[in-house]
Amino acid sequence: MNQARQPLLRGWRTRVAACSQGAVCARNEDHVGHVARDGRLAAWVIDGASPLVEAGRIHGSSSMDVQWFVREIERYLHENSLGAAESRTMFTQAVDAVYKAYLLLAREGIDTPLFERPLAAVSWVRINFKDHHAELEYLCLGDCPLFVMSAEGSVLLEAAGDATAESVVRDKVRDTLRYEDPLEAAGLIEHLKLRRARQHTDPSAGVFAMAPGTVERGLHGILRMEQPFDVVMITDGLFRLVDLFGRYSPAGFCARCVRGDFESLISELRKLENTGESRWRFPRLKRSDDASGVLIQCRNSDLCLDRRAIS
């Protein structure tokens, strides 16, 4: 787990911890990052959508294409997150920049079927520290949950995309496993292709896709923070402990994250994913998923950060 204590920012002390583990060695399609400068701190988690085909348009491997896509998003966020642009404006510009880079490299260019183009879920925060308060701006595209909590552990904000589409996929996976019918499996693949294509064209999708309009439907807001607070951002793979396996409530899960338990949470997740019966009891598209998280702790300078928060 990567840990970093940031310099004093306008009377606030901050600490950042991050962890990211791929479900398959060397094929991690998640990315986490943060940057701090001039009284501002920004952080993000990115979850690249696993490809539906094997052949890649850039590198010959669709998984490598997704990893390239995620790295391009991360590079843009690292370079621009602390700028003056409002978050939705910045992300719209990010979509445009990444799409242009993709078209320059993709062998099939604009003729690539929509369902083959990479996309991602992103949660992002930018904290502007003032003398007596902090302004926290957030944007969520897709299903990477974001939580803001008081230092006492109360959940002040829970933001994530609509989970309805994912529940439909899980129902179809359940039917495929139950009936072991090739037609059910073919129907599942066709559903996924149509869903992926729609995410690139429908503004209501609210994901980081090849269509700038999708950014407008992301969850966005600005919070004024006058008391110490924590921020937890995670990918949906790690959040399986809550919404799939039911091991924690959202508040209980965040409490574990705040204690610096990312690595032990991932270990717990892997045990559940690899249990023989779990695929039947807890149907999902992939047996194991990449799992990542970022924790940001912010305290006024006269209050100490709890050393237990970073193990």
What are the extents of the domains in the chain?
2-298
Confidence band (pLDDT; 50, 70, 90) for 309?
very low
Lowest mean per-residue pLDDT among 5-9, 33-37, 221-225, 268-272: 5-9
Whose CA is closest to 192, among 255, 263, 125, 116?
A: 116
Alpha-carbon distance 291 to 240, whole Å? 9
Task: Summarize pLDDT for 100-151 with one digit per residue, the tens.
Answer: 888 888 765 556 788 888 889 999 999 999 888 999 999 999 889 999 999 8
Query: And the tokens for 281?
Result: 């009891």
pLDDT the model gives residue 34: 96
pLDDT the model gives residue 23: 83
Superfamily for the 2-298 domain: PPM-type phosphatase domain (3.60.40.10)
Measured between alpha carbons, how far is residue 30 from residues 86, 88, 152, 242, 248 in Å?
A: 24, 21, 30, 19, 22
Cβ contact 257:15 at 8 Å: no
Alpha-carbon distance 119 to 106, whole Å? 14
Neighbours of 199 (CB within 10 A): 24
pLDDT the model gives residue 308: 37
- The secondary structure of residue 133, as a DSSP letter, is -
Confidence band (pLDDT; 50, 70, 90) for 286?
confident
Alpha-carbon distance 79 to 72, whole Å? 11
pLDDT the model gives residue 307: 38
Task: Summarize pLDDT for 38-93 with one digit per residue, the tens.
Answer: 899 999 999 998 887 765 666 656 778 888 999 999 999 999 999 989 999 999 99
Confidence band (pLDDT; 50, 70, 90) for 28?
confident
Measured between alpha carbons, how far is residue 199 from residues 14, 193, 222 in Å?
A: 36, 10, 26
Which pTM value belongs to this model?
A: 0.87
